[in-house]
Every structure is written in C-alpha cells, then in structure tokens.
Amino acid sequence: MDTIGQNVLVVTAAVVASLLFMFGLNRIWPSEKRREHNDLVGWQLSILGTTYAVILGFMLYTVWTSYGQADLNVDREANSVAELYRLAGMFPEPQQSQLKNLARSYAEAVVNREWAEMANNVEPKESAAIDSEMWRTVKSVRAASPTEQIAQDHALSELNLLGQHRLTRLSQSTTRLPNVLWSVLLVGGVLTIVSACMFGMQEEKLQALQIFSLSLLVSLSLVAIADIHRPFRGFIHVRDYAFQRALENMRDD
C-alpha cells in the first residue's frame, strides 16, 4: 500500500463486505436452520482458523524479518561509505581529496536520487558508477609508508563490503511475496470468514460483533503484510536516515 488512506479503505471494504455477507446469508439461510449443523461448521472453522492463523503468523514474521534485514543492510552500506571517507584522510593527495569527494557523492546519490528510484521500481545505477570510480582511486594510491599501505588495504576491503551491501540493497528493493502466496493468504482469509458466517447463532448482533472482529483482524494482518513485504516501497519502507547521518558527518569534517 502506498498511503494510509489506501490501508483504511481496504480494511473498511473487507469488514463491510464480511458483514454484508453475514446479513445476506442470514436472510437466505436463517441461523435457526443452521444451528443443527453447528458441530460440522465448528469443526471446519476450527481447522481452517488454526491453519490460517499459522500461515498468517508465518507470513508476518517472514516479511518483518526481511524488512529488518534490509534496514540493517542499509546501515552497513552507509557505515562502509563513512569508513571510506575516514580512511581517505590517510591517503596522499590527490587520492585523498578524490576519495572524500566520491564518498560524499555516493551518499548524496543514494539520498537524493536512488531512494526515489527504488520507490518507483527503477533500478538505481549512479552509485555503481561512483563505486567503480572509488575502486580506481584507491588502486591508484602508491603507498609511501606503512600507514598508507594499511589504509589502502583497509579501503580495498571496505570497498568490497560496500559493493556487497549495495547489490543486496538493489536485490531487496525488487523482492516481494510471490503471487501464489498472496493467493493462499486471500483465499484462506475468505474461507475463514465465510465459515465463521455459517455458524448459526441465536443473537445476530453478537454474531455481527464476532464477524466484525475477525474480519478486522484478518484485513489488518493482510494490510500489514502488504505494507512491509516490499522494504523500499509503499507507506512503510526503510528510510535513508543512515545515509543522511553519514552525509552529515562527512560534511562536518
């Protein structure tokens, strides 16, 4: 989902549709006539509800874990850029100034352009070009002291990590739940709510309250999954705070 308004609209539509189905079913097949089948419906609802709860919980855990991994990877990528900027201070000129400028340009490209590109499902490319330029700059250093040699070795290692984190970020920006899993979630939710509606109860208001609660919980869970299953898109997404902090530190240097 892209906005909170869309979330509210989907949840409201799901709850209203569930209540309308319950009231329509009660008119077509009165609850008094369904009570004799409550044992069968209750058994079916118990199996469906338990199975769907496990599936829903597993999906929520999976997408939240993926979101957390994407957030952590962004922190590591930003830390690698900041570390390269610090290591550049141990290089001779002109590589020192070149690497510092490239590190700042990398963070600026990610914050100002690539975050919006990932949100619009466009593959970012600018950071890859800057990364290649940083490799050339570090390799061009002719170390004249042990300190410069150590700094160069560390910079090469950090560049390797930076490339890994960048590729991971690009991969995570395009990941999403497969359509088959969405089919399982949606069909399972519909079957669970329909089975609950089929349960014959004497008090229609009490049944309406139960259907309202069940449909609200199911729809909220599905909306939560939809919001976070794409870590860099939608209403809830990984922020670029780590790169902003790194950029501020490099500007204050």
| pLDDT band of 16, cuts 50, 70, 90 | very high
Determine the Cα–Cα distance for residues 123 and 125; give it in Å rounded to an integer.
6
pLDDT of residue 35: 78
Q: What SS3 state is found at 193? A: helix
Angle at 239 between CA 237 and CA 242, to 5 degrees: 150
- Does residue 251 carry a pLDDT above 80? no
Closest alpha carbon to 192 in 221, 226, 223, 229:
221
Radius of gyration of the chain (CA): 27
- Which residues have a Cβ under 8 Å from the Cβ of 251 and sit 6 or more positions away? 104
Which whole number is the average pLDDT over 90-116? Answer: 94
pLDDT at 78 over 70: yes
Average pLDDT, the chain: 91
Q: Select the more confidently predicted residue: 59 or 2.
A: 59
Under the banding of pLDDT at 50, 70 and 90, the label for residue 5 is: confident
pLDDT at 231: 92
Cα 200 from chain centre: 40
Once rounded to an integer, what is the mean pLDDT over residues 176-202? 90
Handedness of CA 137, 140, 144, 146 (dihedral sign): positive
Residue pLDDT, tens place only, 37-76: 777 777 888 888 899 999 999 999 999 999 999 999 999 9
Is the predicted pLDDT of residue 112 greater than 90, yes or no?
Answer: yes
Query: What pLDDT, on the 0 to 100 scale, is given for residue 1?
Result: 64
Q: Which of 117, 120, 230 is nearest to 173 (CA)?
A: 230
Average pLDDT over residues 138-157: 92
From the CB of residue 103, how many other CB atoms can be counted at a distance below 10 Å? 26
pLDDT at 32: 78
Whether the Cβ atoms of residue 31 and residue 202 lie closer than 8 Å to each other? yes
Percentage of the residues of the chain whose pLDDT score is greater than 90: 72
Q: What does the pLDDT average to over 177-187?
A: 93
Structure tokens at 196: 């609950």
CA separation, residue 178 to residues 39, 53, 181, 182 (Å):
36, 19, 6, 7
Is the pLDDT at 252 greater than 60? The verdict is no
pTM of the model: 0.87
- pLDDT at position 253, please? 60
The domain spans of the chain are: 4-252
Alpha carbons within 13 angstroms on the beta-carbon side of residue 165 total 23
Distance between CA 59 and CA 56 in Å, rounded? 5
Instruction: Considering only residues 203 and 124, tell me which one the structure prediction assigns the higher pLDDT.
Output: 124
